[in-house]
Amino acid sequence: MLYILSRHLLRLSTMSVRAPRSLNPLLVWGFLLWALSYMGVRIALEAAVGGLGPVRMLLALAPLPFFLMWLVGLIREARGMDELQRRIQFEALGLAFPLTLVLVMTLGLIEDARPLDRANWSFRHVWQLLVLFYVIGLFVARRRYRYEA
């Protein structure tokens, strides 16, 4: 789902009428392999496969190489964007990053004030809000440069 979201987000931010170019294979395969390995490792760890100690840690780090593949693909896509598309991305991230920062820091204070339910408020759940804030930022930035006659 994140792959589909990132693909649509890239298309939304470019809004080009040129023939859609194929996405960088690193971007596509990196994301797919990272997502699959992440889910697989998570299932394995929650099923207590591999016992304790270094094996579990190695499993936890196993998806990282695929994430790096995806990251390289993202960087190459960004380099292929024109200057306005990069500005839109910059403005979107310029909104998402501070919002996420404030959210995480506020949650930290709330946790000091009162213990939060880890099942709902772990980093695993909070990071998804970064995606939401990025989408909001992208929407706001795109509206500034929307097509006008």
Partner 1 sequence: MKTRLRDLRGERGWSQADLAERLGVSRQTVNSIETERYEPSLSLAFKIAAVFGQPIEGIFTPETRQA
Judged by the rule CB under 8 A, the positions of this chain that interact with partner 1 are: 14-18, 82-85, 87, 144-145, 147-148
DSSP 8-state secondary structure symbol assigned to residue 114? S
Nearest approach in angstroms of CB 98 to partner 1 is 23
Nearest approach in angstroms of CB 125 to partner 1 is 35
Nearest approach in angstroms of CB 113 to partner 1 is 44
Q: With respect to partner 1, which residue has the nearer C-beta, 42 or 76?
A: 76
AA identity, residue 15:
M
Q: With respect to partner 1, which residue has the nearer C-beta, 42 or 87?
A: 87
Q: With respect to partner 1, which residue has the nearer C-beta, 46 or 82?
A: 82
Q: Which of 97, 77, 83, 82 is nearest to 137 (CA)?
A: 97
The C-alpha atoms of residue 126 and residue 120 are separated, in whole angstroms, by: 9
The C-alpha atoms of residue 147 and residue 128 are separated, in whole angstroms, by: 30
Nearest approach in angstroms of CB 74 to partner 1 is 18
Q: With respect to partner 1, which residue has the nearer C-beta, 80 or 98?
A: 80
As given in the structure block, the two tokens for residue 32 are 């797919």
Contacts of 85 (CB under 8 A, 6+ apart): 13, 14
